[in-house]
Structure 1
Amino acid sequence: LLALLIGPPGLARLTERRGLAPRLGLSLRATALFAGALTLGFVLVCRPDPSVLRAAVCGAIALLALATGRRRSLVPALATAVLLLVLYDPWLARGYGFLLSVLATGALLVLAPGWSEGLRRRGVPPRLAEALGAAAAAQAVCAPVVAVLSARVSLVAVPCNLLAEAAVAPATVLGFAALATAPVAMPLAELLAWGASWPTRWIAGVARAGAALPGAGVDWPGTWPGALLLAAVTVAVVLAGRRLVRRPWWCGLFGALLLLALVRPAPLTRVVTGWPPPGWRYAMCDVGQGDATVLAAGAGAGVVVDAGPDPAAVDRCLRQLGISRVPLLVLTHFHADHVAGLPGVLRGREVAAIETTGFEEPRQEAEFVRREAAGRHIPVTRAVAGEERRTGPLSWRVLWPPADTGPPTAAGPPPGTGPLAGPGVPAGPGVLAGPGPLAGAAPPPPNGPVAAPEFDGPNDASVALLVRTGGLRLLLLGDLEPPDQQALLRSPEAAGMAGVDVLKVAHHGSAYQDPELIRLVAPRVALISCGTGNPYGHPAPSTVAALRAGGALVLRTDRDGALAVGGAGGAGREVRVTRDGASG
C-alpha cells in the first residue's frame, strides 16, 4: 500500500522520487503524514493481528525516517518494530503468526538481495532472480517454524510462491480499497471486490494445485529439535546449492528428480514403492479423521465410498490408484468427514452418479452435496436396503438404511428410476436396468416395504454395503451406531454378513460397537480409517481388542497409512493387505 505513494521499498534512497506522491506534488513530510493515515486505516480495516501490527510499525518507522530526512534503513526499522511491539505486548513473542511475519520480513531484507544478486551473476533474468531469491529466502527461514506447526515440510512452497507473487499486490490493494469504500459507496466497493476476486482466486488455485501434488510435502518431526534439524538440513542444502548452480547439468538432473518426486507418476510410483499393489480390489485412503474408500471396478474405474474431509487428500489417493472414472460415488451420510472432500473426487474425473442416504442432515452438508452434483450435472439418488447393483467385477447389496414407503427426498428419484436406468431397457419400479455402467435389481425387502425408523442422527442412517469382488466379501458399515447394528442383526440380511473377509469398522473404530455383530461378522481383516492424534480417541482400545479376539488382523490409517486389499478370499484362501509403500 505504501509503495503506491513512496515507491518500491528496495529503492529506499529514492522513494521520494517514485510512487504517486511526487506526481501529486506532495512534500516529503506531507507524504509521510498521508502515508501514516493510510497505515492507520490499514490496521483498522484489517484488524490488529500480529502480522498486521508488525507491518504497520515497520512502515511507521520508515515513514518517520522519511519525514525527518534521515537515511532510511529497513533492517533497523524491523528491529525497532519488533522491540516496540514486544515491549507493548510481550505475549506477541509467543505468537507463531508474529514470529513467521518477522522471520519472513527479515529474510527478504537480509538474505534475498544477496541471493538474487548471485542468481543474476549466473545469468538468471533480473526479475526472475529477484522473485526466486525472495521466495527461497522466506522459505528457508520460515520452514523450521512451519514444521513445528504442521509436522510437514513443503516441497512446493517456493514454486507456488513464485506463481502467486504477481497476484499479491493487486489482491491486497483492491481488497483494501473495497473495504475502505464499502461504508460510503457500496456499488464501487462491489466493483473493487470483484476485481480483487480474480487475483485472489489465482492465489487460492495455486495453493490448491500445489497441495494436491502427490509429493507436495514430507512428514517431519513437529518439535523444536525437529525444527533445529530442519534448519541444519536447510543450511546444508544452501551450501550445496551454491556449488550446484555452477554446474548446469547437475542442476537440471536434480530439478528433474524433484519434479518426479512432486508429481509421482503412477507407473513410476508403483515400481519404486509397490503402491498401489497389482490386483488390488479395495483400498482405504489415508484422509485423516474421516472415511474415503475405493472398490476397483476395472481399468481406471472405481466405485468410491465416501470422500473424506479434505478434497486434496482424496484426490491424491485416487490419482495414486489410477482412478479416472467413477461409475458410482456412495456418500454413506452427510457428516463433513465423509462428504467435504467431494470436490476432490470430482476433480478431473468422470463421475456417473452419486448415491446417498435419505436422511439429509446436517442440512448444510446435504445442500453442499446437491450443489456440487448439480454443478457437474451428476444425478443423485437414494440408497435403500435390498438394492443390488453390479459394475465390472463388483457386485454389492445395500443393507441399510431400510426402505421408506413415503415419497423420495429431494436427493433424487427412488432406486431404479430416472437417470441410472441403462439405455434400451425399460426401467420400472425397483429396477436398475443394464447394460449401462451400473446394473442390478432393487427388490423390496423380503417381508415387504417397511417405514424407516426414526433416526437419532446422521450416523444412524449411514449406508451399509455388503460387497463381493474377485471372491472377496467385504462389509462396509459407514458410521452405524450400536442400535442400528443390532437392527441389522435382526434383519434378513444378517445371514449374508457372517464370516466376511474384510470389515470396514464402523465410525472410525469408536467404542460404540455391538459385540454380537463383531462375533457374527468375524472378519479376517478389519480396517479402520482415523486421523493421527484425533481428539475422539479413535480407534477405541476396546474395539481393537474385540476385533483381535475374534481373529482379525486390525490395521488403521493413522499408523499404517493407506491400505489396499487383494487376494481371492474365502475359507482357506489368501487375503493380501498392502500398506502404502510396505506390505502388511
Structure 2
Amino acid sequence: MRKLSLWLPGLAFVVWAAVWAITGTLPPHEIPGVPTGSIHNVRVELHHDCGTGRAFLGGTLRQVNGRVVTPVEVRLIGVECSRVIPAFAVIDLQVSAKVAPSGERASLVLFSESSDALPQVVTSAPALMAWASGIRASLRNLCAALPGFGGALIPGLAVGDTGLIGADLEASMKVASLTHLMAVSGANCAVVIGLVYGMTALMGMGRWLRVVLSLAALALFVVIVTPEPSVVRASIMATIALIALSRGIPIAGLSALAGAVLISLAVDPWLAREYGFVLSVAATAALLTLSAPIARILARWLPHSLALACALPIAAQVACQPIIILLSPSIPVYGIVANLLAAPVAPLVTIIGLCAALLSDIPLVGELLVGMAWLPATWIGGVAEIVNAAPFATLPWPAGVGGFVLALACSAGIIVALSGHRTAGIITAATATVIAFAISLGIPLVTRWTMPPHWTMAQCDVGQGDAVIVRDGAHIAVIDTGREPAALGQCLDALGITAIDLAVLTHFDADHVGGASRLVGRVAHVVHGPTADEGDDAVLDSFRAGGATVTQVWAGDTVNLGHLAFAVVWPARDIPVEPGNPASVTVAISDVACPERCLSALMLGDMPAAQQITVMRRYPIARMEVVKVSHHGSRDNAPELYAAVHAAVALIGVGAHNGYGHPTAEAIDMVRSAGSTILRSDVDGLVVLSQNQTGGIEVWREKSH
C-alpha cells in the first residue's frame, strides 16, 4: 500500500496534465447545415434547471430544425423560463448558434436573447430529477422570504442553488476568499457522509450497513445538488474510501484522491479543464499534505487545536492561489482569517438547510428550520461584508500566465520551506512576491505617465462587464462598475482617481454592479434605475451607508457633472418594463458650455433592441462622438439607432473568451456600418479618449496591437 500511495498521485497528475493538454487542442464537433448567426429551432436536453437565474445552462443537442443530429454538448445563454424546468427535461426553443472555441466542452453556443421565445417542454424530466428540482425550488422559496444575506446563502450551501445571491454579496464573498461557501462543494459531501455514518454507528449498525447507508445518502445528495465538478471529485473519493473501509483495507488519503481523479477523468475528460474540479483537487491535496507541517510550525506559538484550525485554510490558500489568480488577479489579505471565522459554521447551514428542503412540505417545519439556518448563514455573510469593508482587503497581483507563474513560484517556495529547506523556500517565495508587487504597483504608474493628461473618457478593462469613466476637469463620473471590485480598483488607480462625484448604475446585473463595493465611501451621488429585489436594494443601502445620496432617475431627468449634462432618456415612467436589461438607465452626455465638436456620448447599458427603437421614437437622437455599445455587443441591438448616432468611436466592454460569444459578428458589422471605430476592452485593455485642438478624438490604448 505504501508503494501505491507513492506512485498513484504522480500517475494522476501526469494523466490530468495530458488530458488537459489534449482537450485544449480538440476542435469543436461540427454539425452540417447549422450556419452561425441564423435562427434555428432546436431540441435540447437540459443539464441544469432553467428558471433559477443561472447565466449559463448546459445541455445536449438532439435536433436542429426538426432534423435529428449527432448528440453534442451545447451551452445555452439568455434562455428565460417562465417557470422552473428541471434538469434532464427536453425542450424546444429558438436560438442562434455560434461554434464554441477549441478546448471547450460545448461544441456550440446557443443564444436566445428574446424573452418572447420561451422554451417549450417536449419531454418531462425523469421523476427523480423532477423531485430533486422541486426540493431545490422549495428551499429557494422558503429562503427568499428571509431578510439579509443569510437567506441568500442557505440554498447554495444546502442544495447548490445560488440564484438568490446578489452581485454585492458575491463580490464580498470573493474579497473574503469565501466563494467556496456560496455553493455546495466537496466539503459538503464529507459533512453528509460523516453525519450518516456517525448516526448509524450510534444506532449500533454493522460496518457493511453503515457503508451502504452512507453511500445511499451520498448518491441522494449528489442528485439533489447536481453533479458539479467538486461534488463529483468528493463523491468518488468518498466512495473509494467507504469501500476500502467496508473491506478493512487501509487506504491513504492521497491514494483515494488520486483514484478519484483517474476515475473522474476516465468518465468525463473535460473535468480536467474545469476550474471547480482543479481547485477541489488542489485544496484536498493541500489539506492532506501541507496542513500537518504547517500546524507543527504554528504549534510553537499557538495551542495545538488552534494551530490545526489555522493550518487548514493556509494550506488550501497556498495550493489554490495560483489557480485563483487566473480567475481574479488579486490576493485576499484577510482570506485566512475570514475562513477561520466563517467556515466552522458552514456545516450547520448545510445540514439544517438540507433538512429544511427535505421537510419543506410539512407545515411550519421548513420555515422553522430555515430560520435556524439563517443565523449561521448570516454570520458567514457578515464576515464577508466586514472583510470587504476593511482597508487593503485585496492586494493587486499580475494577471494571466505571468501572474500564475509568479504565484506558483511563491507557493512552491512555501512548500519547499515546509519540507525543511527553509532558506531556499523563503528566498523563492519572497522573490516571486516582490516581483509580483513591483509589476502590479508599477504598471499603474507607467500607465499614468504615458496616457494623455487631459483625457475626457475612459473604458476600463474589467473583464466581461462595463465600467466607463467620464471626466470634466476635476469632476469624475463612473458608469457601472464591472463584476470585480479589484479590477475596477486597478483601473481607478491607473487613472489616478480617488474621489468620485457621480456613479450611474444602469441596472443591477453582476457584470454591471459587482464591483460596487470599490466605490462605497468614495462617491457622492448615485443614480440608478428600477430595482428587482432585496439584493438590488442592498447595493444601494451600502452606498447610503458610505455617505452617498441615492436617486432613482427616469427619462427626462438631468444630472450635472461640471459642464457636462447627463440627460436620462430611458427608462420612461409611463412605459412599464421589467427591471434588468430592458430598464437599463440610458444617458446622453453633452457639454453644455461647449459650442461645437465637444464631448458627447450615448451610454446604452444593456438596453435591448426593442427599447432602443422606443427611445428613437421618443427622443431626438443626434450624432454623438461616442457610443457605448449595448449588452457587450450582443445580437440584440437596433442598427437604426447606431446609424442615427453615427459615432466616431464605439466602446465595447467585453471579457476575453467570455463564453457568451460577445461581441457577435452581427454587432461588429452593424457598428462598423455606422462609421464607428470599435474599441474593445478585451483587445485594447484600458482605453482613454481625449480631444485635440480641432475637436477630434484621440485614442490611447493600454494594449498595443
Instruction: Return the offset for 1:197.
Output: 1.5
How far does the alpha carbon of each residue in 1:231-255 deviate from its partner, in whole angstroms, 9 at most, with x for none? 7997588559989942899689659
Residues 540-551 of structure 1 aligned to structure 2 (within 5 Å): 540-541=664-665, 544=668
Match of 1:293 in 2: 468
Q: Deviations over 1:473-526 (max 9, x none)?
A: 1212405566776777787845xx44x443333443456766676566554433
Residue 373 in 1 paired to residue 540 in 2? yes
Task: Please state how far the C-alpha of 1:556 moved relative to its aligned partner.
Answer: 0.8
Change (3 A) 1:227 1:505: closer
Contact 2:554/2:568, CA 8 A, preserved across alignment: no
Equivalent in the alignment of 1:475: 601
State the match for 1:382 in structure 2: 553
Per-residue CA shift, 1:138-194, capped at 9, x if unaligned? Answer: 5566678x57xx954765379735641453233224532553478496687346413
Structure 1 Cα separation of the partners of residues 657 and 251 of structure 2: 49
Does the Cα contact within 8 Å between 1:354 and 1:380 map onto a contact in 2?
yes
Of 684, 689, 698 in structure 2, the residue corresponding to residue 560 of structure 1 is 684
* Counterparts in 2 of 1:467 and 1:242: CA distance versus 1, 3 Å: farther
Q: CA contact under 8 A between 1:281 and 1:565: conserved in structure 2?
A: yes
1:257 to 411, 420, 434: 434
Partner of 2:699: 577
Further displaced range: 208-217 or 376-385: 208-217
Matched, 1:329 2:510: no
User: What is residue 189 of structure 1 aligned with on the other side?
Assistant: 369
2: distance between equivalents of 1:369 and 1:485?
24
Identical amino acids, percent of aligned pairs: 26
* Correspondence 1:396-475 to 2 at 5 A: 396-398=565-567, 400-401=569-570, 459=582, 463-468=586-591, 472-475=598-601
> 2:238 matched to which residue of 1?
56
Structure 2: which amino acid aligns with 1:395? L
Write the deviation string for residues 342-389 of structure 1: whole angstroms up to 9, x where unpaired. 743653334424143xxx5xx736x7545543565544332324x544
Q: Match of 2:31?
A: none
The CA deviation at 1:465 is: 0.7
Residues 1:51 and 1:347: Cα distance change in structure 2 (over 3 Å): farther
Structure 1 residues 143 and 94 mapped into 2: Cα distance closer, same or farther (>3 Å)?
farther
Q: Counterparts in 2 of 1:125-164, with a 5 A limit?
A: 138=316, 146=323, 151-152=326-327, 156=331, 160-161=335-336, 163-164=338-339
Go from structure 1 to structure 2 and tell me whether the alpha carbon gap of 1:191 and 1:244 turns closer, same or farther (over 3 Å shift).
Answer: same
Code of the aligned partner of 2:560 = R
Which residue number corresponds to residue 532 of structure 2? 364
Q: Of 519, 525, 534, which residue of structure 1 is paired with 2:649?
A: 525
State the one-letter code of the partner of 2:686.
Answer: A
> What is the deviation of 1:557?
0.9
Alignment-mate amino acid for residue 374 of structure 2? W
1:344 aligns with 2:523: no
With over 3 angstroms needed to count, the CA separation of the structure-2 counterparts of 1:331 and 1:57, relative to structure 1, is same
Cα distance in 2 for partners of 1:104, 1:120 equals: 20
Q: Taking structure 1 as reference, are residues 345 and 139 closer, same or farther at Cα in structure 2, changes over 3 Å only?
A: closer
Q: Aligned to 2:342, which of 167, 185, 191? A: 167
Q: The residue matched to 1:383 in structure 2 has which SS?
A: coil
Give the aligned partner of residue 396 of structure 2.
Answer: 215
> TM-score, normalized by length of structure 2?
0.52
In structure 2, the residue matched to 1:246 is 423
5+ residue gaps, structure 2, are 1-196
Change (3 A) 1:169 1:277: farther
Rate the CA distance shift 1:394–1:319 in 2: closer, same or farther, 3 A. Answer: farther
Aligned-partner Cα distance in 2 for 1:198–1:507: 33
| Distance across 2 between alignment mates of 1:43 and 1:134 | 27
Spell out, residue by residue over 1:190-217, the C-alpha distance to the aligned partner (whole angstroms, 9 max, x if none). 4641343255326755996899836256
Q: Distance in 2 between matches of 1:453 and 1:388?
A: 21
Q: Distance in 1 between matches of 2:592 and 2:618?
A: 23
Measure how far apart 1:291 and its partner are: 2.7
Q: TM-score, normalised by structure 1?
A: 0.61
Aligned to 1:200: 380
Are the aligned partners of 1:560 and 1:579 in contact in 2 as well (CA < 8 Å)?
yes
- 1:578 counterpart letter in structure 2: W
Which stretches in structure 1 are left out of the alignment for 5+ residues? 1-20, 407-451
Supply the RMSD in Å over aligned alpha carbons. 5.6
> Any conservation in 2 of the 1:214–1:316 contact (CA below 8 Å)?
no
Q: Which SS does the other structure have where 1:200 is aligned?
A: helix
Q: CA deviation at 1:50?
A: 1.4
> Aligned equivalents of 2:343 and 2:535: distance in 1?
30
Judge conservation of contact 2:456–2:689 (CA < 8 Å) in 1. yes
1:288 to 1:207, Cα distance in 2 relative to 1, 3 A: farther
Q: 1:191 to 1:134 in 2, by over 3 A?
A: same
Deviation (angstroms), 1:578 = 3.0
Q: Which one of the candidate residues 477, 491, 510 is aligned to 1:303?
A: 477
> If you compute each CA radius of gyration, which structure gives the higher value, 1 or 2?
1
Q: In 2, distance between residues paired with 1:331 and 1:282?
A: 17
Residues of 1 paired with 2:378 and 2:468: CA distance?
Answer: 35
| Cα pair 2:414 2:426 within 8 Å, conserved | no
2:267 aligned residue (91, 95, 102): 91
For the 8 Å contact 2:406–2:436, the answer to whether it is kept is no
CA shift in 2, pair 1:81/1:288, >3 Å: closer
Q: Judging changes above 3 Å, is the alpha-carbon distance between structure 1 residues 199 and 50 closer, same or farther for their aligned structure 2 residues?
A: farther
* Aligned-residue offset at 1:81: 6.3
Checking the alignment, whether the CA contact within 8 Å between 1:373 and 1:380 is kept in structure 2 is no
